[in-house]
Amino acid sequence: MAENILDLSKVIEAVGKDKGIDKQIIIDAVKDAILTAARKKYGTYREIEASYNEATGEVELFEFKEVVERAKFIDEEVEIPLDEARKLDPQAQLNDSIGIKMDSSDLGRIAAQAAKQIILQKVRDAERDIIFNEFEQRKGEIASGIARRVEKGAIVIDLGRTEAHIPLREQIPGEQYKPGDRLQGFLMEVRQTTRGPQIIMSRASEEYLIKLFEMEVPEIYDGIVEVLSAAREPGVRAKIAVKSNDPAVDPVGACVGMKGSRVQNIVQELRGEKIDIVPWSEDITRFVCNALAPAEISRVFLDESNKEIEIVVPDNQLSLAIGKRGVNVRLAAKLTGWKIDIVSETIASSRTAEAIFNLMLLPGMTQTMAQNIFQSGFGSFQILSQAPVEEVMSIPGYDDPDKSAKLIQSAKDLIEKYKDEGTPVPTSPQVAKAAVNNSSAKEQADQRLKEELSKLQSEE
């Protein structure tokens, strides 16, 4: 057994160095293996412990027995008489637990095989931990590898020491790879499982787009230019919002590069995905307009409490502002974090007329007064009824607190009247959105509004 023990000591040293595993982990594995073999041979009721002797490189087994009087000695497997105990340890006392070294050589092949299996398992576990820790620290970076196969729609990537998966949802639509193709992606998630580290990569995320710009644009890497938000429809179009921390550096120009070289490298990596680089602004109106470029913007109406914004564009700019299948406005909304409603000048005018018509239902309201109220941002009874007096005083002709309070109360009373009658309360401009591309419906609405306004004016 001595030769085997020396060999074991060498194995511990070699495995520790070769695999980069803490030597103590391997020693503990060997101790566990021999202890397991001993318990199988001698039974689990005996108190046996294993200890590693650094000097000899041997795993020693000790059996602990209780010290008892010779007269009360019954079970030699768990007890030892006091006189025999003192031969081993002169300081031994009754009821002490004394460790007696066992001969482990007779464990033979069982111990060696068990040790081998546990060492292999511990080595595998330690290697998994090393790989997990390595990629956990790299999470948020870009990694590249070789495509090996496809499993349930996911591309399996060989990263060298381990594999990663790009799920179908994280792939760019239309991309196809064959085994041996090199590709890269964003290290999105690293999980420890019973089968080892599970690494999820993405080519469709906004984070991947931002990381590509960071790699391609030195000004972003150095912090001179910041990417504040990004939005993507993978493989179709993307938008990133950038700002410069140096007045001398144009953030858009830095991202585009000389003759568009920088952004084109990213477009090529993303298989032709069109990328809009948007100047960020703390003024949300300007930011939204920038995000909708190159469409021309006529007017903007903000609802800050609900983070909603209505954009009015010339009729011939409506398709450009919305984009093919709505992609431009969807990306702009995601980029800015605001809900965006885009309407044409024609529809906006129709909505304005209906709003003014509804406001004229208030007692004593003239068309001019209703126009002033609407243009001051109070487009419905509901908005008026909930507005503070101080805000209503901004309406021309309502700078007196009492007059403003009276207008607010009139709106509340009218709402209650409609509720008592079981009639729907007229809301802010409600020209049917379905009529946007239906000229006959719009014309009918315009005609009805003109008739109603004319009738009200004649009654005055």
- The CATH number of the domain holding residue 325 is 3.30.300.20
The pLDDT value recorded for residue 19 is 62
Q: Say if residue 330 is in the same domain as residue 380.
A: no
Residue 306 inside a domain? The answer is: yes
Q: Say if residue 241 is in the same domain as residue 334.
A: yes
Residue 137 inside a domain? The answer is: no
Task: Give the pair of three-digit tokens for residue 278.
Answer: 């948007």
- The CATH number of the domain holding residue 170 is 2.40.50.140
Residue 259 inside a domain? The answer is: yes
Q: Say if residue 115 is in the same domain as residue 48.
A: yes
How far apart (Å, rounded) are the C-alpha atoms in residues 384 and 410? 9
- The CATH number of the domain holding residue 449 is 1.10.150
The pLDDT value recorded for residue 111 is 55
Residue 138 inside a domain? The answer is: no
Contact at 8 Å (CB) between 270 and 235? Answer: yes
Statement: the pTM of the whole predicted model exceeds 0.75: no
Residue ending a domain, among 108, 130, 152, is 130
Q: Say if residue 18 is in the same domain as residue 84.
A: yes
How many distinct structural domains can be found in the chain?
4
The pLDDT value recorded for residue 15 is 66
Residue 139 inside a domain? The answer is: no
Q: Say if residue 197 is in the same domain as residue 211.
A: no
Helices of type H across 227-326: 251-256, 261-269, 284-292, 318-322
Q: Say if residue 196 is in the same domain as residue 211.
A: no
The pLDDT value recorded for residue 381 is 82
Residue ending a domain, among 130, 154, 187, is 130
Q: Residue 47 is part of which domain span?
A: 2-130
The pLDDT value recorded for residue 338 is 95
Q: Say if residue 231 is in the same domain as residue 290.
A: yes
The pLDDT value recorded for residue 440 is 37
Measure Cα distances from 35 to 31, 50, 138 in Å. 6, 6, 39
Q: Say if residue 188 is in the same domain as residue 126.
A: no
- The ranges of the chain with pLDDT < 50 are 1-6, 429-446, 448-449, 452-453, 456-457, 459-460
Q: Say if residue 423 is in the same domain as residue 442.
A: yes
Q: Say if residue 392 is in the same domain as residue 436.
A: yes
- The CATH number of the domain holding residue 121 is 3.30.1480.10
The pLDDT value recorded for residue 427 is 64
Smallest CA-to-CA distance from 398 within 373, 362, 415 is with: 373
Q: Say if residue 351 is in the same domain as residue 334.
A: no
Q: Say if residue 249 is in the same domain as residue 378.
A: no
How far apart (Å, rounded) are the C-alpha atoms in residues 353 and 77? 102
**381-409 pLDDT, tens digit each:** 888 888 899 999 999 999 999 999 999 99
Residue ending a domain, among 322, 343, 364, is 343
